[in-house]
A and B are shown apart, each in its own frame.
Chain A
Amino acid sequence: ETGVTQTPRHLVMGMTNKKSLKCEQHLGHNAMYWYKQSAKKPLELMFVYSLEERVENNSVPSRFSPECPNSSHLFLHLHTLQPEDSALYLCASSQSSNYGYTFGSGTRLTVV
């Protein structure tokens, strides 16, 4: 248990489906992040929430929609995804960028 819990661990969805990824941390951290990890590509930062406000959105397609209802929970809502969106989606939290991140185990997403 890393302190950051992601559910589900695996998800297979069709291109017309709507699903959500969930991330939960009880470490008292004040920032949460979504990353996309694709094979043979660098880690891609998708969204950053600090104190429940979105502070960064790195040109992510609108078919990905984040939600941060409180400092302990982060969601990534998915709809009408493409096969190229298949990847490992990682959630992380931190108290400060200087302290390092705590990552969840990720959700392996497959879009068919």
Chain B
Amino acid sequence: AQSVTQLGSHVSVSEGALVLLRCNYSSSVPPYLFWYVQYPNQGLQLLLKYTSAATLVKGINGFEAEFKKSETSFHLTKPSAHMSDAAEYFCAVSAPTASGTYKYIFGTGTRLKVLA
């Protein structure tokens, strides 16, 4: 069975600093991996996705994530944080089940705070 773990429920960075949000997954088969962002009082918005093409995936708003099979990780990064990046970020994994359907699992979320 697949699972996803986000390390750190809260992360604070200074404006202009590197953003690193950690996500590790567990899956018995090659998974599909996603990052979503949620702003206050809104739904989740897809930031980027890994679907077995390039291991470095670029998304919206300057974010990118690298799939590292050896580390079972899919960490989200952004070189320079902006105040508007303050939000909650969710990692998700989708992998096939024995019945052939896909099961989608969300992490517990990381709340990013950007300090002026």
Binding site for B on A (CB under 8 A): 2, 4, 6, 42-43, 45, 55, 90, 92, 96-106, 108
Q: Which residues of B contact A96 (CB under 8 A)?
A: 102
Q: Which residues of B contact A4 (CB under 8 A)?
A: 43
Q: Which residues of B contact A55 (CB under 8 A)?
A: 101
Q: Which residues of B contact A97 (CB under 8 A)?
A: 32, 94, 102-104
B30 CB to nearest chain A CB (Å): 11
Cβ 8 A contact of A105, one of B34, B36, B42: B42
Cβ 8 A contact of B106, one of A2, A6, A42, A106: A42
Give residues of chain B (62-95) contacting chain A, Cβ–Cβ below 8 Å: 90, 94
Complex CA gap A11/B41 in Å reads 13
Complex CA gap A75/B90 in Å reads 25
Query: Do the beta carbons of B102 and A43 come within 8 Å of each other?
Result: no
Complex CA gap A101/B105 in Å reads 12
A12 CB to nearest chain B CB (Å): 15
Interface of A is mostly: mixed
Q: Which residues of A contact B104 (CB under 8 A)?
A: 45, 97, 101
B8 CB to nearest chain A CB (Å): 15
Q: Which residues of A contact B32 (CB under 8 A)?
A: 97-98
Query: Do the beta carbons of A103 and B44 come within 8 Å of each other?
Result: yes
Q: Which residues of B contact A90 (CB under 8 A)?
A: 43-44
Query: Do the beta carbons of A101 and B44 come within 8 Å of each other?
Result: yes
Query: Do the beta carbons of B51 and A43 come within 8 Å of each other?
Result: no
Who on chain A is nearest to B43 by CB?
A103
Query: Do the beta carbons of A100 and B34 come within 8 Å of each other?
Result: yes
Query: Do the beta carbons of A101 and B41 come within 8 Å of each other?
Result: no
B12 CB to nearest chain A CB (Å): 18
A38 CB to nearest chain B CB (Å): 12
Who on chain A is nearest to B106 by CB?
A43
Query: Do the beta carbons of A103 and B45 come within 8 Å of each other?
Result: yes
Complex CA gap A45/B103 in Å reads 11
Cβ 8 A contact of B43, one of A45, A98, A99, A104: A104
List 9 A-B pairs, minimum CB-CB distance, nearest first: A103-B43, A97-B102, A97-B94, A100-B46, A43-B106, A103-B44, A42-B108, A105-B43, A98-B32
